[in-house]
Amino acid sequence: MTLISVARRIAAVIDSAQDGSRLTLELQRVSETPSLPSQAQLHAWALAALSEQSGPVELVIRIVDEAESQALNRDYRGKDRPTNVLSFPFETPPELPAEAAGNLLGDLVICAPVVAREAAAQGKSPISHWIHMVVHGVLHLQGLDHQNDAEAGIMEALERKILASLGVADPYQIEKET
């Protein structure tokens, strides 16, 4: 990591914190994929997914290549392939009091090449799929899941509501049509 990239990361975190937002976003761009969303876009999408969340939170979004996504997916989920988004909720270590966590929500790791491929395969605009992945990941960080039909129904309904508020079509309807 260069001094310039560190300075940009620090400036981005400071800018997020000073705008009065309920969300402080640290963006880490590791992928060289062209046409990635801006920090402002990612911030707006994540904030929309926090509509039910009370109080200010801190979030890291790391945009990665397939090698890093695959390694993380293998190490943390036992699946040896790259994936679109991974969510790592912050967990306070047992030796620390709960208040030590402050307002840390967690980390999202988004694989840019996988998101681009999925958008093309599903006939979605790349930006719509990026929005979906950010919203989906932030909902996971807030404790929602889709391990069974009941959980999936709740999470997908909330995703649809948030995505509609951002002008994005129902991603699950699109997937069923393709």
129 assigned ligand-binding residue: no
146 assigned ligand-binding residue: yes
Tokens 């790391």 belong to 62
Buried-state track 111-135, b at ≥16 Cβ within 10 A, e below 16: bbbbbbebbeeeebebebbbbbbbb
Name 173's bridge partners: none
Cα–Cα distance, 177 to 34 (Å, whole number): 28
132 assigned ligand-binding residue: no
Cα–Cα distance, 31 to 33 (Å, whole number): 5
- Contact assessment for residue 110 and residue 87, using Cβ atoms and an 8 Å cutoff: no
Residue ranges for the binding site?
Answer: 136, 140, 146
Binding residues for Zn(2+): 136, 140, 146
